[in-house]
Structure formats: structure tokens, C-alpha cells
Amino acid sequence: MSKEKFNSEVTSVDSGPPHQPEFYDPSKETIWTRIGLSLESFKRAPGTTGGQTIAGGGNLEDFERAKADNPMLQQKMKPRHLKMIAVGGSIGTGLFVGSGGALHTGGPAALVIAWIIIGIMLVNVTQALGEMSILYPVSGGFYTLANRFLDPSFAFAMGWNYVLQWAVVLPLEITVAGITVQYWTKEVHIAAWITVFWVLIMILSVFGTLGFAEEEFWSSCLKLLVVVMFIFIGIICICGGGPKTGVYSEYIGGRYWSDPGPFAHGFPGLCSVFVTAAFSFAGTELVGLAASETPNPRETMPAAVKGTFWRITIIYITSLTIIGLLIPYNEERLLGGKGAAASPFVIAMDRAHIKGLNHFVNVTICVSVLSIGLSCVYAGSRTLTALAETGYAPRIFSYVDKSSRPLFSVIAILMWAPLAYVNTKVVGNLVFNWLLAMSGLSTLFTWGSICLCHIRFRRAWQVQGHSVEELPYQAFGGIWGSVLGLVLIGLVLIAQFYSALWPVGGMDPDPKVVVSTFFQSWLAIPIMLLFYAIGFAWKRTLPKRAHEIDLDTGRKSWLTVEDMRKWHAERAAAPWHIRTYRKLFSH
């Protein structure tokens, strides 16, 4: 089966059942309305979202299928957008700034070990997410899948926890952006910079999906350029090729692994680094949310999912290994610095005395922080809209305008940004630490729910008589990859529990501080349990048995085993270099 025929088959089944009602066609609007720069663009888009009547009538079954197959969030993302979101979308504060604190706390060996373990976990998560998102590119991504394959009450808890996570991270990122700018000047109060970045994020949010996608594409290009440049410069400096005025004018090799050593605080230091590593990868799952806003996920998602592996291997592991070789973990700026001053990338350039590069890296950190802030608005608003569409949030949040913006959901997330101003007060750090604790482990819970969804999906797929050969994309680890992902998430949670009871540097003599530190580390769990209790009390739902799970609504591929075998046979006949490229980077 040729690629053209395969795509036509998918398109034909994507068109839905016969006599499907008509839907709002955004292409008939003016260009100013489509990009969100007219008053008309803020009006509700007519269609299924928000309980609008479908033009032409139709029964309830048609309505539910049409709602899943035709999300009001328009398919504006292009393949280049999705690939760069997957490859560079989550490169930000965690790598550029957070890795410095992790190096000081755990040492260079702990830094690499923690990121490798989290990376292995994440590869399995994204593979599972890719398999499901290609088959079901539904609005709300993994929240909607959890609602279908797991339990609506659990999905309610996971969805609201995910919204809360990004709502709280937004003011954090804006604060870090303000601190980063102060690397050049401290004369302007940080509150002014917080206002500037808040306004910038609001302006970019006006452009909706397209604004987010374009900003992510170009910022990811910049971040990748800087990291790759840093890798090459770092290797040269390690070999002693740095400027004579700097500390890298002679070969240093693994000097800092011997003195002061590979581990900063032994096993407690290693355990404390895991959550920082997980935070640095937060946002990778956005490709699952973006699937419904991509015209052809069948073609674009595999490349995006496979890009995750290369980002982890090349970008994270390589750059962090070089950082551990360039900077000792007892570097003073790692210990007491803030924002960009604690960035190991900036510190390495300062130590090398390479003029200008420290400023270039700092500019990139600013752009990265702004990028992650915009991701907060995108991820939080899309999940909030999906919650509203399934009846688990006020209906006002299901409002989608003619420019494909979930308008009130975007406003709701943006309104959390002023919390950044609490950092201008003495008690700001205390308030902010507790706010962050509310979503501290949310990323791990989200990844765990994706693995659970995949396990339940595969079980239902098998019980209902389907073959894995029917799947347009198969996670390379299959169901056991998701099991491994869950096991690793469990180990990270155990490590977090250990570091909360036995923190680095020993337990504080004040019992109040001990209790406060422990609850800050684990506050996300009682919040998840509270959300679950609310969801269960509200809807009184229980998980469905495997044979009762709906595998048809929103499904985008109805190809048979024979069709898939023909397609694979044709691809197997391609030249070896094309097969290799497809295996590693495409599909």
C-alpha cells in the first residue's frame, strides 16, 4: 500500500460516518479573525463545543462522535511545530538553571544518573502517549484518555492537578525571567520585569495555537543552537583549549570527579536530585495535547515522539556530563546564586573567560523561561477546556472563539501570573514554596497516568478482539515499556520520600521546620486524593471493565491487519538508508 493510498484511507475514515452534520469552517473567516486580531475573532465559534446545536440535526450518538472527531480547537500546527515542541519544548529552567542546584546537591555522578533514569522513564511515557494520541487525537489529550480508559474520578483528579501545576509554574517562570534580567542590571526593581514578562505572555497568547507554535519553534531552535554550541565549546575546554586567561587553558579531564568527587552528599544527595530532573522534563507530554491541533497526527506524531529520545540522549545527558566535568560541585555560585547567576552554563562561560558567550547564554535563558511560561498557558488552558467539555469544570471554560482560543481558560491561567509579585516581599519565598509544593509531584502523577492508560488501552484492545497489528503506531516497548515506566516512577517517589525524611545536610533541630519540609515535599498527594474524592462524590463513577471501554469514539484509524501488513511490506522494500532514517527519526 503506497503512502498516498494509506493517507487517503486514513482521511476517508477520518471523515466520519455518513450523514455527519456540518461544522464551522474557520477558513471562511478573514485572515485577521483567524489569527486573532479582530473583535470578530473573540466571538464563540459555532459548533459542538459548549453544547452548541449541531447544524443539520443528528442523534445523540452522532453528536458525541462528531464532538470527539471534530474538536473546535483548530488544526493549526504544522509538522515543524510539533517536532520542535517535542525536541526543544521543555528545555528551559530545569536544564539551564535547575541543573546547577542539582550539581551542588548531588554531584556530577548523581546529576547524570538521575537524568538517565528519568530519561528512560520519559521515553516509555512518550512512546505510550504517541501510540494512543495517533489513534485518538482527541481534545484534552491524556486527560480525555484517562477519562475513557481509567476512571472519570481519577481523570478529574489528574486533570485538575495538571491545571494547577501549570497555573503555579507560570508565576515561577515569570519570576525566574525577572531574576535572569537582573544579571545585567539590578537598578530596575524585579516587579517591573515581572510586569514586562507577564504582558509579553499575554500578547503572545492572543495569537492562540499559532502564536504558541511559532514561538516554540523559534525559541526551540535558539535553545538547541546554544546547547549544541555549549557541548562543542565544553569539549574543547575540557581538553585544555580554552583562553589562556581562563581556568580551561590546560587539560582538566575528570579532575573534578576526583576532587571534590562524584557525589556531593552520598545517597541522600542522589535522591534529592530526582525531582529536579523530573521538573526539567516537564512539558514533554505537551505533544499529546497538541495532537488534536495537528492536521495529520499519523504522519507527524511518530517523528515527534522519537525526537524525545534524541533530545534526552544528545541534549540533556551530553550537556550535563560536560557540566559535571567543567564545574566542581562546591563552586560558590552554585551554592548561593539565584536565577542566571546559578546557571552552570553561564558559570562555565565565566570561568572560561570567553567574552560575550555568557551574555548570549543568558539571553537564551530569558527566551527559554518565556517559552515555558507560554507553555503553561497552553497546557493549562487546553486541559481546563477538556475538563469543561466533559462536565468536570464550569461550562464557561468550554468557550472556544473563532480564532481557536479557549478564551476563558486562557484568561483563568493568566490570572495566576500576579502571584509572582509575592517574591518582592519578605514572606514571598515562604508563600511561593508552599504554592509550588501544591504541584511538586504533579509531573510524575501525569506520566504515571499515561502509562496506566496505555496498559488499560492495550488490555481493552486485546479483549475486544483487536490485534496490535491494526495500530498505526506501536510503542517500541509495548505494554512492558509502560510497566517499566510505572516502576521507575515508583522508585522516584520512594527516593523523594527518603529525601523528605532524611534531607541533605541532616535533619533540622526545629520540629516545625522538619514537618514543614516533609509536607512541602508531599503536598501534591493529599491534593490528588482530595480531587479524587470530589470527583467521585460528584459523579459516583467506577472504572469500566475492559470489554466495556469505548474504543471507537474519536478513533482516527480503521485500517485492517491486511492493510497494515501491505503498508509495512512496501516500506520494507525501500532502500536501507531510507529504512534506517524512518526507524530512527520518522515512521
**Residue 351 scores a pLDDT above 80:** yes
Rounded Cα distance, 564 and 318, in Å: 37
Q: Are 118 and 447 in contact (CB under 8 A)?
A: no
In one-letter notation, the amino acid at residue 73 is L
Mark whether 218 and 345 lie in a shared domain: yes
How many structural domains are present in the chain?
2
Domain range for residue 536? 81-543
pLDDT-derived band at 69, boundaries 50, 70, 90: very low
The cell numbers describing 415, all together, are: 490570572
Give yes or no: residues 563 and 414 share one domain.
Answer: no
Helix, strand or coil, per DSSP, at residue 401 = strand
CA distance 135 to 558: 9
3 state SS of 323: helix
Task: Decide which of 310 and 144 is more confident.
Answer: 144
| pTM to 2 decimal places | 0.82
Are the beta carbons of 164 and 413 closer than 8 angstroms? no
Is 256 inside any structural domain?
yes
Hey, is 490 helix, strand or coil?
Answer: helix
Instruction: Report how far residue 23's alpha carbon sits from residue 70's, in angstroms, rounded to the nearest whole number.
Output: 8
List the grid coordinates of 355.
567574552
Q: How confident is the model at residue 433 (pLDDT cuts 50, 70, 90)?
A: low
57: left (phi over 0), alpha (psi -120 to 50) or beta: left
Helix (H) or strand (E) holding 120: helix 99-135
- Cis before residue 260, ω within 30 degrees of 0? yes
Q: Report the CATH number at residue 177.
A: 1.20.1740.10
In a domain, 64, yes or no: no
Evaluate whether residue 181 is within a structural domain.
yes
Mean pLDDT of all residues belonging to the chain: 77
Tell me if 50 is assigned to some domain: no
Q: Quickly count: other Cβ atoms within 10 Å of residue 562's Cβ.
A: 11
**Judgement on whether residues 162 and 92 belong to the same structural domain of the protein:** yes
Residue 246 in this model has a pLDDT that exceeds 50: yes
Give the whole-angstrom CA distance, residue 26 versus residue 463: 40
In a domain, 62, yes or no: no
Same domain, 301 and 445: yes
- Give the integer Cα–Cα distance in Å for 552 and 563: 18
Going by C-alpha positions, the residue among 500, 463, 443 that lies closest to residue 281 is 443
- 206 with 234, same domain? yes
Position 182: which residue type?
Q
Comparing C-alpha atoms, which of 445, 374, 380 is closest to residue 220? 374
DSSP state of 97: I
The distance in angstroms from the start CA to the end CA of the chain is 15
Is residue 369 located within the same domain as residue 247? yes
Band the pLDDT of 7: cuts 50, 70, 90.
very low
Q: Taking a C-beta distance cutoff of 8 angstroms, is the pair 559, 10 a contact?
A: yes
Average pLDDT over residues 511-526: 73
Cα 432 from Cα 377, distance rounded (Å): 19
Give the three cell numbers for residue 576: 536501507
Same domain, 492 and 581: no
Q: Per-residue pLDDT tens for 448-477?
A: 999 999 999 999 998 988 888 888 888 888
Whether 360 and 474 share a structural domain = yes
Cell 478564551, located at residue: 407
Cell readout for 61 is 450518538
**Are 470 and 577 part of one and the same domain?**
no
pLDDT of residue 37: 66
* 579 & 489 share domain: no
CB 425 within 8 A of CB 415: no
| Same domain flag for 483 and 451 | yes
Interval 369-423: pLDDT, tens: 888 888 888 888 888 988 888 888 888 988 887 777 888 999 999 999 888 887 7
Q: Is residue 443 part of a domain?
A: yes
CA dihedral 226→215→419→281, nearest 10 degrees, is: -50
Within-domain flag for 87: yes
Q: 18 in a domain, yes or no? A: no
Query: In whole angstroms, what is the distance from residue 19 CA to residue 67 CA?
Result: 15
pLDDT above 90 as % of the chain = 10
Beta carbons of 220 and 87 less than 8 angstroms apart: yes
For residue 270, which of 517, 484, 491 has the smallest C-alpha distance? 491
Beta carbons of 579 and 571 less than 8 angstroms apart: yes
DSSP string, 19-87: TPPP---GGGS-HHHHTT-SGGGGSBPPSSGGGPPPTT---HHHHHHHHHHS-SS-----HHHHHHHHH
Rounded Cα gap, residues 241 and 250, in angstroms: 7
Read off the pLDDT of residues 96-107 as tens digits, 9 standing for 90 and up: 877 888 898 889
Dist CA 475 CA 124 (whole Å): 8
Please compute Rg for the chain using Cα positions. 24
Judge if 351 and 431 occupy the same domain. Answer: yes
Using the predicted structure, report yes or no on whether residue 53 has a pLDDT greater than 50. no
Residue 25 pLDDT grade (very low, low, confident, very high; cuts 50, 70, 90): low
